Amino acid sequence: MTTDSKKQILQTASKLFLRNPYKEVSLRDIVNEVGLTKGAFYHYYTSKEQLFAETARYFYNNAIITNYSAFPKTSLKEFYEHYLAVIQEPDDFDEIDEDMNFFLFLSEASKRVPDFLEIHTAQLKKELWAWSEIIETAKRSKEIKSNVPNEELATMFLNMSDGIVMKRAIGKVSGTESLLNDIKRDWDNLYNLLKTRKK
């Protein structure tokens, strides 16, 4: 066993839990996939439940949470285009994107991981704040013009992308590139409705 064994277990479990319902993933599946004995597994985790909780946090921190600190601060269009570029950056979950049962996984995490909803709610607030801030900046610079409150416009942008992801997941439509194209199309359309017209 190497020092990376715990991360290997975590990544392997992530793939299994993201592809299959929690009850269908056995401890045997996990140890067989990683190439460990149960004894070696218990050196790192006390149970499947503990591993699932850590897996949920690992996935959320590495695939869901967006760090807005490096985003453009002066243009709404540059901000959301940067957002789309960040989504395309490689991560530990690239090879399972096509088979990922994202919504089932998050639903199970919200039921099985005590602080998961708190983590998720805190992230939603950060996300809404970041979008609201760039929308305020865009209004002040006259990049866009709208009487709709900043938080409501931010919610419109976020709901558009969430809705597209949900619709494609339910319809089992795969392909990251086409997903991002759909989001960009709708965000561009909303942006063009808001954009200040040059006289």
Residue in the block written with tokens 């399972």: 96
Average pLDDT of the segment spanning 170-195: 83
Instruction: Provide the percentage of residues in the chain whose pLDDT is more than 90.
Output: 45
The yes-or-no verdict on residue 198 having pLDDT over 80 is: no
d(CA 76, CA 50): 41
Return the CATH class of domain 5-56: mainly alpha
Q: Domain segments of the chain: what residues? A: 5-56, 65-100+113-194
Of 192, 199, 2, 18, the closest CA to residue 103 belongs to 18
> Shortest CA distance to 54 belongs to which of 99, 87, 94, 9?
9
Structure tokens at 153: 């416009």
Q: What is the mean pLDDT of the chain?
A: 85
Helix (H, G, I), strand (E, B) or coil at 13: helix
Binned at pLDDT 50, 70 and 90, residue 78 comes out as very high
Percent of the chain with pLDDT over 70: 87
Amino acid at 141: S
Instruction: Between 183 and 60, name the one with better pLDDT.
Output: 183
Pick from 1-15, 87-101, 126-140, 148-162: least confident: 87-101
- pLDDT reading at 65 higher than 50: yes
